[in-house]
Chain A
Amino acid sequence: EAGVAQSPRYKIIEKRQSVAFWCNPISGHATLYWYQQILGQGPKLLIQFQNNGVVDDSQLPKDRFSAERLKGVDSTLKIQPAKLEDSAVYLCASSLGRGDSYNEQFFGPGTRLTVL
C-alpha cells in the first residue's frame, strides 16, 4: 500500500514570497490533515478536511495561509506572503475517517520550509 506522498521535500524562499505544498493521501482515506511542526515542538494541526469539506481550520492563519482539497483527494497548502516564523516542517496526514480506525493517522515525510 502506497503511503502519503508530499512534495517538495525541501523549499527555501525569502520572506514575503509565496510557496505551495502538495499532498496525495492514501487511497480511500476520507480525512486529510495539514500540520505545522516547528523545530523542537510537536506537530500542530492547521486544517482538517473530510472529503473536500473543511472540518477544522481554527488554527490556520487565514490572513496568509490557505488550503484546498479539490475532488476530495489531493490537497495543496499555500502561504502568501511567507514570514520568518513560518520556517517549519509541514506534515500531511490522512485517515480512513470511519470505523475503528477513524482517527488513526498516517503521515507523509513532510516538507521542510526555510524562510530567509
Chain B
Amino acid sequence: GIQVEQSPPDLILQEGANSTLRCNFSDSVNNLQWFHQNPWGQLINLFYIPSGTKQNGRLSATTVATERYSLLYISSSQTTDSGVYFCAVHMTTDSWGKLQFGAGTQVVVTP
C-alpha cells in the first residue's frame, strides 16, 4: 500500500516562532488532508489540499502532487497550536475514499 511519511516526528517551538511540517507519500493521490488533533483527541480539519496552496489565518499548506509531498506552515505559533498534526492521503487506485494516515508530528509550543 501507499507509504505516508511525516517529518519531523517531534517539534518544540517557542511561542511566536514559525515552523514547517512535511508529508511525503509514495504513490499518486486524489486527496490529501491535514488534521490537528488537540490534547482532548478531537481531530480538526485544517486543509483539504490535493494540489496547490491554501491559507487559513496563520496556517498555510502547499501540495506538489507531481513530486509527492505536502508542506504545512505554522506562522507566529501559539500555545493553542500544540497537539499532533496528521497528514492523510487517498490513493487514486482506491474508489472508496479510504484515508491512509502518516505517523504524525507532535508539536509543543511553549510560552
Bound pair: A and B? no
